[in-house]
Amino acid sequence: MSNYLKPLPKIDERNRAHWDGAREGRLMMQACDHCAALRYPFSSLCPKCQSTGSSWKEVSGKGQVWSWCVFHRVYFKGFEGEMPYNVVLVKLDEGPRIYSNIIGVDKDKLRIGMRVRAVFDQATDDVTLVKFEEDKS
Amino acid sequence: MPDQSLRNRAAVIGVGTTKFGRLPGNDTYDLGAWALREALDDCGLKASDIDGVIVNRIPDYQRFCEAFGLNPRYALMTPGQGRMSGATIELAAMAIAAGMAKTIALVYGNDGRSAGDKYGGETDRYGSGGAGQFFPYGMTSPGAVHAMMFACHMHQFGTTSAQLAAVSVAFRKHAALNPNAVMRKRVTVEDHQESTFVAAPLHILDYCLINDGGVALILTSAERARDAKKPPVYIRGFSQATKLEESALPPEDYWYGPMQAAAKDVYEMAGVKHEDLDALMIYDNFSPTVLFSLEGFGFCKQGEGGDWMQGGRLELGGQFPTNTSGGHLSESYMQGWALNAEAVRQLRGECGERQVKDARLIQYMCAAPLMTSIIYGSDAT
Ligand SMILES: [Zn+2]
């Protein structure tokens, strides 16, 4: 899949569990070992209790659209072929907000509060992205 | 709140601005030096009269002072983020009150247009610099963050993009009266609505203009300011607040909470109420920031800003003429610095066709993860 031109995540020891999980179809979020708070973006320190230890916890992948925007300007060449494209900030039912894309919803139909669930979109042999689709259940 | 005794202790005695636009062949040092020469001329001081220097966006204070031939007692640099203009002016006012320096030059240079700054894509370092984690999903740029905030405001309060257009329309009307503004052709609400999207729901007319330019301000103590060439403009009140936790993501409240705190402090320190203000200078990286600031600083109730801005309220002749230079949307994106220069010039009555009649009190405010506000006055009451 060397023809994948969009930016890829920089996978390292600090975030590998998230990307390994995505390849297996599981949404893994970072949880503080001390106070259990989930955090995003991934980081080495818990902003709630300043502890350093963390583990990876599978979450439901369900949540709602917290906000949205639609890009009409090309900032990354790899996206050129699918302009305009949406970016959403999803508030997971477990609490954290994460950036992603909604699949299968017209840009004029994006709305805040829309129930969504995670889907796993293989980008390359090594990388699967966590995207979302409308959850009609 | 800063100590009440700091009210009117420092004053701006000199302002200098370069041309704005595409100024190839000028780096940030050249642009800063150009602005500083103008500011020294403006107040009739020599380089040797400056004993404090703070540079902003210019990468190295040492190189700047070496090139300009300055040996200040006090020197510092602040990060090249727009929110730092207000913070730097506040710091200078405190340094003067503390006796760290008598006369401080604040020097800003921005070669963003010639350098091809995009504020999005691989080089995006907005906010905490955590943006790289979002690139695989195509998320980037401060504009997109503000687009998301505005989408929330639309959803929560029913604000519309056509209401937001009042900001772009007002500032462009002002820019048409400012010979140094980059964009001077009047626009209408329809022009705004028909302009292309960048990150929807924001249109290109909601975005600031990346350009080259420089701004310098010279501050001194109120006592010394009385001997300056032009009437001093006093720093009557100032405040700061932040929302840095979780600031890699948009704030959940449009920074309303911390802005309310900054508002209480600045009005109390200055002894000023909203209705006393003759004009406003509001950091307008994107037009929603103006809406959020008006609500956060209590000019209207939260959620009512869209309605409140209608009917020319922000235009010259309206209740609160705002960004009379055209601001970042129409004069040039000088990261707050040129708005502070405009406040000084308005209070001196130097603004020609765009002059606010008998302006005595002007408030600057900047909404961002680090927010600041400064109230300037033409007298030291
Ligand atoms: Zn913790």
Question: Are B233 and B16 a contacting pair, CB within 8 Å?
Answer: no
Decide if pLDDT at B77 tops 60.
yes
Determine the distance separating the centroid of ligand 1 and the alpha carbon of B230, expressed in angstroms: 56
Decide if pLDDT at B297 tops 90.
yes
CB-based contact (8 Å) between A56 and chain B? no
Distance separating alpha carbons of residues B260 and B298, to the nearest angstrom: 7
Residue A108's alpha-carbon distances to A8, A39, B291, in angstroms, are: 27, 31, 24
What is the DSSP secondary-structure string of B87-138?
HHHHHHHHHHHTTS-SEEEEEEEEETTTTT--SSSTT---TTSGGGGGGGGT
Domain assignment present for A94: yes
- Tell me what pLDDT residue B123 has: 79
Is residue B283 annotated as part of the catalytic site, yes or no? yes
Best mutation target among A23, A29, A71, A89 (most B Cβ atoms within 10 Å) is: A71
- Tell me what pLDDT residue B317 has: 97
Q: Which residues of A touch B120 (CB under 8 A)?
A: 73, 75
DSSP assigned state of A95: S
Domain assignment present for A2: no
Decide if pLDDT at B129 tops 90.
no
Domain assignment present for A4: no
Q: What is the pLDDT of residues A39-68, one digit of tens each?
A: 999 899 999 999 999 999 999 999 999 999
Measure B118 CA to nearest chain A CA, in Å. Answer: 8
ipTM metric: 0.97
Q: What angle do CA A105, A106, A108 make, to 5 degrees?
A: 125
Decide if pLDDT at B239 tops 70.
yes
The answer to whether A107 contacts B200, with C-beta atoms less than 8 Å apart, is yes
Half-sphere exposure of B8 (CA within 13 A, CB side): 12
- CA-based torsion, B262, B266, B267, B268: positive or negative: positive
Measure A137 CA to nearest chain B CA, in Å. Answer: 23
Question: Are A86 and A102 a contacting pair, CB within 8 Å?
Answer: yes
- % of chain A surpassing 90 pLDDT: 92
> Which residues lie below 8 Å from residue B303, measured CB to CB, with a gap of 6+?
B153, B156, B157, B159, B295
The answer to whether B152 contacts A67, with C-beta atoms less than 8 Å apart, is yes
Of A9-23, B302-316, B334-348, B352-366, which gets the smallest average pLDDT? A9-23
- Tell me what pLDDT residue B128 has: 54
Percentage helix, strand, coil, to 5, in chain B?
40, 20, 40
For B381, counting Cβ atoms within 10 Å of its Cβ (0-12 exposed, 13-18 middle, 19+ buried), the class is exposed
Structural domains of chain B, with CATH: 4-115+209-377 (3.40.47.10)
Residue B378's alpha-carbon distances to B24, B120, B196, B231, B256, in angstroms, are: 37, 40, 41, 8, 29
Residue A69's alpha-carbon distances to A105, B30, B140, B202, B223, in angstroms, are: 13, 38, 11, 9, 52
Domain assignment present for A67: yes
Decide if pLDDT at B269 tops 90.
yes
- Tell me what pLDDT residue A3 has: 87
Determine the distance separating the centroid of ligand 1 and the alpha carbon of A31, expressed in angstroms: 8
Average pLDDT, integer, range B224-248: 96
Question: Are B141 and B119 a contacting pair, CB within 8 Å?
Answer: yes
- Tell me what pLDDT residue B130 has: 62
Chain A residue nearest residue B130, CA to CA: A41
For residue A131 the two structure tokens come to 């995207």
Determine the distance separating the centroid of ligand 1 and the alpha carbon of B128, expressed in angstroms: 20
Tally of domains within chain A: 1
CB-based contact (8 Å) between A123 and chain B? yes
Best mutation target among B122, B139, B254, B286 (most A Cβ atoms within 10 Å) is: B139
Average pLDDT, integer, range B124-132: 65
Cis check: omega of the bond before A84, within 30 degrees of 0: yes
- Tell me what pLDDT residue B315 has: 98
CB-based contact (8 Å) between B158 and chain A? no
Is residue B74 annotated as part of the catalytic site, yes or no? no
- Tell me what pLDDT residue B11 has: 98
The answer to whether A71 contacts B149, with C-beta atoms less than 8 Å apart, is no
pLDDT in tens, chain A (137 residues): 568 999 999 998 889 999 999 999 999 999 999 999 999 998 999 999 999 999 999 999 999 999 999 999 999 999 999 999 999 999 999 999 999 999 999 999 999 999 999 999 999 999 999 999 999 98
What's the domain range around A39?
Answer: 16-134
pLDDT band at B131 (very low <50, low <70, confident <90, very high): low
DSSP assigned state of B148: H
For residue A70, give the 3-state DSSP assignment. strand
Cβ-nearest to A6 among B118, B136, B199: B136
Domain assignment present for A6: no
- Tell me what pLDDT residue B211 has: 94
Statement: the pTM of the whole predicted model exceeds 0.90: yes
Question: Are B168 and B206 a contacting pair, CB within 8 Å?
Answer: yes
Residue whose structure tokens are 């949880």: A31
- Tell me what pLDDT residue A14 has: 87
Average pLDDT, integer, range B75-80: 96
Distance separating alpha carbons of residues B323 and B327, to the nearest angstrom: 5
Determine the distance separating the centroid of ligand 1 and the alpha carbon of A40, expressed in angstroms: 12
DSSP assigned state of B355: P
- Compute the count of residue pairs across chains A and B with CB atoms less than 8 Å apart: 94
Domain assignment present for A77: yes
- % of chain B surpassing 90 pLDDT: 93
Determine the distance separating the centroid of ligand 1 and the alpha carbon of B130, expressed in angstroms: 19
The residue type found at A44 is S
Q: Which residues of A touch B196 (CB under 8 A)?
A: 72
> Which residues lie below 8 Å from residue A71, measured CB to CB, with a gap of 6+?
A79, A83, A84, A85, A86, A87, B138, B144, B199
Cβ-nearest to B137 among A10, A41, A87: A87
- Tell me what pLDDT residue B127 has: 57
For residue B169 the two structure tokens come to 């329309």
Catalytic residue (choose from B74, B207, B333, B364): B333
pLDDT band at B342 (very low <50, low <70, confident <90, very high): very high
For residue A116 the two structure tokens come to 């969504």
Of B2-11, B270-279, B309-318, which gets the smallest average pLDDT? B2-11
Q: Which residues of B touch A68 (CB under 8 A)?
A: 148, 151
Domain assignment present for A3: no
CB-based contact (8 Å) between B148 and chain A? yes
Interaxial angle between packed helices B256-270 and B287-296, expressed in degrees from 0 to 180 and rounded to the nearest 10 = 60
Determine the distance separating the centroid of ligand 1 and the alpha carbon of A39, expressed in angstroms: 9
